[in-house]
Chains A and B, each alone.
Chain A
Amino acid sequence: DQQVKQNSPSLSVQEGRISILNCDYTNSMFDYFLWYKKYPAEGPTFLISISSIKDKNEDGRFTVFLNKSAKHLSLHIVPSQPGDSAVYFCAASAGSGNTGKLIFGQGTTLQVKP
């Protein structure tokens, strides 16, 4: 049962344009969502997060949008840079006070072309 899904395995955009990565979830108990970025031969690194009480969180070039009714979140990168080329994982956790267990999506490989 895939509770967090990233249906696009890959995405290619031109440098300077917007990158939009999507993530869907099925568990309505999820209340915290995170995006991680992973370069080859490295572990994932935290990028940005959002609590379910918000619908948008912005950090520099990165913005995460949450649509709870649709159980959908997206990560926008504007403008995209070649250094953003990596695998992006969406993750979710459920319930404050829980163990903090993260459920990850399958990942989307972003390629930003110069």
Chain B
Amino acid sequence: EAGVAQSPRYKIIEKRQSVAFWCNPISGHATLYWYQQILGQGPKLLIQFQNNGVVDDSQLPKDRFSAERLKGVDSTLKIQPAKLEDSAVYLCASSLGTSGGGKNNEQFFGPGTRLTVL
């Protein structure tokens, strides 16, 4: 079974530029998550999709971050304009469902995209 795919793996941009990340979840997984992991911290949820609808985007900085999941499969996360503090690893994860913390909610993570903003 193929895992969660993400691209690019690394990206270096200057502040005020824009950047986009792509994620392809595990086939059949209804729920997709984007996390931001700053060095020395744990992953922080940015946005959660159930199929192509947003379930939770309470921690997404909506003035500069946007995400979409067209057709309930692939997803893109965009930052425009980027700030220095956006330097982090952006992780995409997927799970079968969202029912509490049971096995259906076990999240499978992609390798992440390491973003450096100069």
Stretch at the interface among B64-72, B80-88, B102-110: B102-110
Q: How many residues of B contact A (CB 8 A)?
A: 29
Q: Given the complex, which residues of A lie within 8 Å of B112, measured CB to CB?
A: 42-43
Instruction: Give the complex CA separation of A4 and B108 in angstroms.
Output: 20
- Give the residue among A4, A33, A42 with the most B Cβ atoms within 10 A: A42
CB contact under 8 A between A99 and B106, given known A43-B4, A89-B42, A105-B42: no
Within 8 A of B (CB), among A81-96: 89, 91, 93, 95-96
A107 contacts B42, C-beta separation under 8 Å: yes
Rounded to whole angstroms, the CA-CA distance of A101 and B97 in the bound complex is 11
Q: Does A98 contact B (CB under 8 A)?
A: yes
CB contacts (< 8 Å) of A36 on chain B: these are 109
Contact of B102 among A32, A43, A105 (CB under 8 A): A32
Q: Give the residues in chain A near B45, CB-CB below 8 Å.
A: 101-102
CA A101 to CA B48, docked complex, whole Å: 8
Among A42, A100, A107, point to the contact of B98 (Cβ < 8 A): A100
Of all chain B residues, the one with the shortest Cβ separation from A38 is B109
Looking at chain A, what size class is its interface with the partner chain? 20 to 34
| B95 interface residue (CB < 8 Å to A) | yes
The answer to whether B42 touches A99 (Cβ under 8 A) is no
Q: Cβ of A26 < 8 Å from any Cβ of B?
A: no
Are B109 and A44 in contact (CB-based, < 8 A)?
A: yes
29 contacts between A and B (CB under 8 A): A31-B100, A32-B100, A32-B101, A32-B105, A34-B101, A41-B111, A44-B109, A45-B109, A46-B107, A46-B108, A49-B101, A91-B42, A93-B101, A95-B100, A96-B102, A97-B99, A98-B100, A99-B50, A99-B55, A99-B56, A100-B48, A100-B99, A100-B101, A100-B107, A101-B48, A102-B43, A102-B45, A102-B107, A106-B42
Other A-B pairs beyond A32-B102, A93-B105, A105-B42, 9, CB < 8 Å: A41-B111, A46-B107, A89-B43, A96-B99, A100-B100, A100-B107, A101-B45, A107-B40, A107-B42
